């Protein structure tokens, strides 16, 4: 039961639909959309091969649903924390470091199932690297309201930076995060081989936070 990829049905009695979404989310994040077959997903979810087409119509529609289910909760999380932040943000620069720390920790978090930051970062990167524009343009719509919240959120601690500038810096940050999450193991191993810097997640998170805070606060 402690496999690297554990079966998603484990005793929780989820519906077929949700078991498919859980399995697809994991496998797409790990292996990509084209590299993950319907047979992989249904085997992993312990459902019939035809169930994906029955519940979602097609593989492409399943991919869209996976993203919808990932993005929608982020909106809520941001809204919750926004109110708290406004109250406690006495000193903006400290507050920014606090936020970035939370984002970085979240991005590397590999919880059991929902709110798995590492899976989300991998999916996000795959979405931006997808060949056809289909998924990208689908996401662009859905993504907007989340992004508006993000920019508003970060602007609370970066009032002197223009909105469009914050918007781009958030994307630069996402790029660093996604790349670091995807390459953590390999990059860490190379670092160890070259500089005897034994890889350690805490140090990585600290380094990322330093880099990102400085980048976000850059002067125009």
Where along the sequence are the contacts to a second copy (CB under 8 A)? Answer: 30-32, 34-35, 122, 125-126, 128-131, 136-137, 140, 143-144, 147-148, 151, 163-165, 167-169, 171-180, 182-183, 186-187, 189-191, 193-195, 197, 204, 207-208, 210-220
Token digits of residue 29:
């994040």
Q: Is 5 one of the binding residues for DNA (CB under 7 A)?
A: no
- Binders of DNA among residues 138 to 167 (CB under 7 A) are none
Minimum Å gap between C-beta 97 and a second copy is 11
Write down the H helix ranges in 89-198: 92-108, 117-128, 133-155, 163-195
For the chain, what percentages of helix, strand and coil (3-state, to nearest 5) are there?
A: 75, 0, 25
| Residue of 61, 63, 27, 64 whose CA lies nearest to 42 | 27
**Residue 78 exposed, middle or buried by CB count within 10 Å (0-12, 13-18, 19+):** middle
Q: Is 97 in the site for DNA (CB under 7 A)?
A: no
Binding partner selected for residue 39 from DNA, a second copy, none, CB under the kind-specific 5 to 8 Å limit: DNA
Which residues inside 58-87 make contact with DNA, applying CB under 7 A?
58-60
Cα–Cα dist 4/131, whole Å = 28
Question: Residue 213 binds which entry of a second copy, DNA, none, with Cβ cut-offs from 5 to 8 Å by kind?
Answer: a second copy
Site string for DNA, 16-35 (x = CB under 7 A): xx------------------
């Amino acid at each position: 039961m402690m496999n690297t990829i554990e079966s998603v049905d484990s005793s929780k009695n989820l519906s077929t639909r949700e078991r498919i979404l859980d399995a697809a989310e994991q496998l797409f994040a790990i292996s990509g959309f084209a590299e993950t077959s319907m047979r992989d997903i249904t085997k992993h979810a312990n459902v019939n091969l035809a169930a994906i087409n029955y519940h979602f119509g097609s593989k492409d529609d399943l991919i869209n649903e996976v993203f919808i289910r990932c993005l929608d909760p982020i909106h809520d999380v941001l809204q919750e924390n926004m109110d708290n932040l406004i109250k406690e943000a006495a000193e903006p620069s400290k507050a920014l470091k606090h936020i970035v720390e939370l984002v970085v920790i979240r991005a590397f978090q590999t919880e059991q199932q929902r709110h798995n930051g590492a899976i989300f970062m991998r999916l996000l990167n795959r979405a931006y690297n997808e060949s056809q524009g289909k998924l990208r343009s689908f996401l662009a719509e859905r993504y907007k309201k989340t992004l508006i919240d993000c920019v508003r959120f970060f602007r609370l601690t970066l009032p002197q930076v223009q909105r469009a500038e914050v918007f781009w810096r958030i994307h630069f940050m996402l790029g660093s995060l996604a790349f670091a999450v995807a390459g953590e193991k390999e990059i860490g191993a190379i670092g160890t081989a070259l500089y005897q810097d034994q890889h350690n997640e805490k140090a990585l998170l600290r380094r990322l936070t330093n880099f990102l805070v400085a980048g976000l606060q850059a002067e125009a």
